[in-house]
Structure 1
Amino acid sequence: MTAASPTPPTPDAGPSPEEQRALLARPFALAHGDPLPNRLAKAALSEGLGRRDLSPGSRIRRLYERWADNGTGLIVTGNVMVDRTALGEAGNVAVEDERDLADLRAWASAAKAGGARVWVQLNHPGRQAPRTLTPRPVAPSAIAVPGTGGLFATPRALTDDEVVDLVARFARTAGIVCRAGFDGVQVHAAHGYLISQFLSPVTNRREDRWGGDAAGRRRFLVEVVRAVRAEIGEHRSLSVKLNSADFQRGGFGEDDSLEVARVLADEGVDLLEVSGGTYSSAAMLGVDPSLKESTRRREAYFVDFAERVRREVPDLPLMLTGGFRTLGAMSEAVASGAVDVVGLGRPLTVEPHAPAGLLDGSVTSSQVRPRRSGIRTLDNLTELVHYSVQMWRMADGRDPAPDRHPALNVAQYLARNGRDSIRSTRRGL
């Protein structure tokens, strides 16, 4: 992190660092559940720390003990799968019944120890399930993931009864984690996972009630949201993570996303997190050289879309993750009204207490930046592995090692998860 240095105010200087910090320190009230203590959030990062039996275990608990007092008002866990037979990557945690309730309670207690609200991200990979983990994946339609060299098997199209069952699975998992002590849930509808697959005309070619037109394609998400709310009640929070676009030709675009946002506002969702991309187009990683320079200056990858949502769906609370690194950019995004909550992901794997430093004035920015070589495939690989290894170090009671050679990180990842899993791992930002 960069240490703060006092700067004499000038008439044109804008908000002082003290005013910027005060803005981010303000609580944020939600329609359901307890208010967030401040405007900084630890965004979902897939930890890869679940046990072989898919339970959380002590290592994931130790990681969240490290993050518990990091200064964020909200902590969102990595994706927890709602079906034990459908895994997105090695080390997933899956919850479909109460067999691991004690472990879940210990995880919730550890993560909440510093006073943050803690939500569990709920997910199903759909077709984005490596064949080494899920040899017979399911999806809205039998369309394979392109450009992955056979890593993913061609999925089988879900039957109507199976879609109905999946709605119930999301709700059941939500109820279990809330009974375990978590403050709410986030439904993962982005990054090309199952719900995102239902939303996109590229991956959803159904002609029944779960497809056909835009309203049919979003029906699965709407039914999941309604079922989850009915299960967790009015005193727990419900968030959705949604792509601004999937960046696929003929796919889910900004106009589609905006209409989904309107529907989610009508459903009373407490917080919409804006993101973007899929396995085939990982815009959420921020290593795309086509990013506009104006976007890079503002730091947040999807801030333009967030502003559009704010204009057209003004009553929907928004969280934006991806690219934020400086106190100034974070406070500007909130002060402008573009978003209500700023999400931080990768910086917290290397600088786990960065938010506390931003709020107490000891630092003004994170030094974490995308690690680029100019070769996109290599960049994606080293980015993902680097931050995974930092989480594993903290889970083992060690400090992050940001300057560790990438080759050592890749070797460690291969040894732990195997060759195929490198290509299957994706992170939130």
Structure 2
Amino acid sequence: MTEQPSIATPLTIGTVCQSKNRLFKSAMSEQLADRHANPSPELINLYAQWAKGETGIVVTGNVMVDRNALGEPRNVVLDERSDLALFKRWAQSGSTNNTQLWMQLNHPGKQIPSVLCKEPVSPSAIPLGGDLAAMFNPPRALTEAEIWTIIGQFAWAAEQAKQCGFSGVQIHAAHGYLCSQFLSPLQNQRSDQWGGSFANRSRFVIEVYRAIRAAVGSDFAVAIKLNSADFQRGGFSEEESTLLVQQLQAEGIDLVEISGGNYEQPSMVGVDQKPSTVAREAYFIEFAQQLATQTEVTLAVTGGFRTLSVMNRALAEGSCAVIGIARPLAVMPDYSARLLSGVECPLPLRKVTTGIAKLDTAVMLDITWYEHQLERIGLGKRPKPNMSAWRSVVKTFWALGGVAMSRRRA
């Protein structure tokens, strides 16, 4: 009989990637670039700490492929103006202890705060809705030439990531960023070859993958982060997500990470999840279970995993091959090592709120509070799970104000 896998079981992904276990650090935004959008010493140290913590595969926070399109003030950018020596230091630091370090590549599309960009781009000129609308400027529609330029930027960045020593890349096609915008019939209302039918809406993602694969070859891991659904009426659906995974499998994708939601409907951080779903821990496991019966691609599921028993059960049942974890590693960098020791590991996680819902939304507190924990780790400090929501709010506004002032001076 074949032994059932557990989080400690090694895994071969694609043709060359050997992960020492089934734990997968999912991408979290760090906002730890230096003033030239290169990896800062704090970012490099943060990944050194995670490499020590025994996670098999560590995925970076989103690295933008265009410095004129930043999702946040201190995003790392990999383009022709980048200091590749610093990226090599980052790769070396994060790959110690036999850790697989993958770079997540991203373009925010219209999800750019208004202080960073007057006119963002998107498949169609459709602004963000809901409480966030006031924080983001309306986009303009991309031209055909611009679409191909961005595809080329993804491929160039992936090739540089390989040359710098990263062991894989992940395309960010979830959470409402540009790739996700192309997939959504709500956000993409084009009438050319890039919009309309599902085949046209998925074309951008497929072309990004093909360009990356052509640039890096078959001996390098290429993965994608994909929504199970947008959880918006008329948006990207589970049926379309399944079709896209099947297409990507045929193209040769090495791993698909399943998440869900976007800025307008942030299901990826547990917002509006049913109590039964939260109690079950893995937010998107039901979709992954269905997907596993219809594809053979290596699946990672991220969102909600907290206990060793639930993680091992998901692996044993074949719902996924890899367990995605993120926030636990922001408050406990050695969380993976503790799990691998075979004991349950209670986490000091709580709902972070000021008590003012609109303020929490405006500063994206569900994300920024954790970014501030990552900054502490990068500075050589211990995480501070009891840090107040208000302190995080002040730090966020201070950072945004500094960006706005510097742009006015420029």
Q: State the TM bucket, normalised to the shorter chain.
A: over 0.9
* 1:247-291 Cα shifts (integer Å, max 9, x gaps): 122111111111111111111111100001111110011132xx2
Deviation at 1:298, TM superposition (A): 1.9
Give the aligned length: 399
Hey, what's the Cα distance between the residues in 2 that align with 1:132 and 1:120?
26
Structure 1 unmatched runs, 5+? 1-18, 422-429
Q: 1:195-274 counterparts in 2 under 5 A?
A: 195-274=179-258
- Specify which of 305, 313, 317 is matched with residue 324 of structure 1: 305
* 1:141-193 Cα shifts (integer Å, max 9, x gaps): 11111122432111111111111111111000000111000001000000000
CA contact (8 A) 1:287 1:376 kept: no
CA contact (8 A) 1:84 1:94 kept: yes
Q: 1:129-168 counterparts in 2 under 5 A?
A: 129-147=112-130, 148-168=132-152
Q: Which amino acid aligns with 1:309?
A: L
> In the alignment, which residue of structure 1 is the partner of 2:340?
359
* 1:269-321 Cα shifts (integer Å, max 9, x gaps): 11100001111110011132xx23432232011111111111122x1110011
Hey, what's the Cα distance between the residues in 1 that align with 2:81 and 2:365?
37
Q: Which has the higher contact order (CA 8 A, sep 6+)?
A: 1
Moved more, 406-415 or 256-265: 406-415
Q: Which amino acid aligns with 1:113?
A: T
Question: SS where residue 240 of structure 2 aligns?
Answer: helix
Hey, what's the Cα distance between the residues in 2 that align with 1:232 and 1:376?
44
* 1:95-120 Cα shifts (integer Å, max 9, x gaps): 11263110000000110112110000
Moved more, 361-370 or 94-103: 361-370
Hey, what's the Cα distance between the residues in 2 that align with 1:418 and 1:287?
28
Question: SS where residue 418 of structure 1 aligns?
Answer: helix
CA contact (8 A) 1:325 1:367 kept: no
- Specify which of 289, 292, 302 is matched with residue 307 of structure 1: 289
* 1:222-267 Cα shifts (integer Å, max 9, x gaps): 0100110111111110000000111122111111111111111111
Q: Which amino acid aligns with 1:297?
A: A
Q: Does 1:51 align with 2:34?
A: yes
> In the alignment, which residue of structure 2 is the partner of 1:404?
387
Deviation at 1:413, TM superposition (A): 2.6
* 1:61-120 Cα shifts (integer Å, max 9, x gaps): 011111111111000000000111111111101111263110000000110112110000
* 1:350-409 Cα shifts (integer Å, max 9, x gaps): 011011001013544434244468865456544323211111111111110111222222
Q: Which amino acid aligns with 2:396?
A: Y
CA contact (8 A) 1:240 1:271 kept: yes
> In the alignment, which residue of structure 2 is the partner of 1:107?
90
Q: Which amino acid aligns with 2:340?
A: L
CA contact (8 A) 1:326 1:366 kept: no
Question: SS where residue 244 of structure 2 aligns?
Answer: helix
1:301–1:372 Cα change, 3 Å:
farther
Question: SS where residue 211 of structure 1 aligns?
Answer: coil
- Specify which of 109, 113, 120 is matched with residue 126 of structure 1: 109
- Specify which of 232, 241, 262 is matched with residue 278 of structure 1: 262
Q: Which amino acid aligns with 1:29?
A: T
> In the alignment, which residue of structure 2 is the partner of 1:170?
154
Q: Does 1:65 align with 2:48?
A: yes
Give TM-score scaled by structure 2 length: 0.93
The two structures, once aligned, show a CA RMSD in angstroms of 1.9
Q: Which amino acid aligns with 1:171?
A: A
Q: Which amino acid aligns with 2:305?
A: F
Q: Which amino acid aligns with 2:258?
A: V
Structure 2 unmatched runs, 5+? 405-410
Alignment identity in percent? 44
* 1:30-63 Cα shifts (integer Å, max 9, x gaps): 1233211100011100100111211112111011
1:376–1:272 Cα change, 3 Å:
farther
- Specify which of 173, 183, 205 is matched with residue 167 of structure 2: 183
Question: SS where residue 234 of structure 2 aligns?
Answer: coil
Q: Which amino acid aligns with 1:303?
A: I
Give TM-score scaled by structure 1 length: 0.89
- Specify which of 388, 392, 401 is matched with residue 418 of structure 1: 401
1:407–1:98 Cα change, 3 Å:
closer
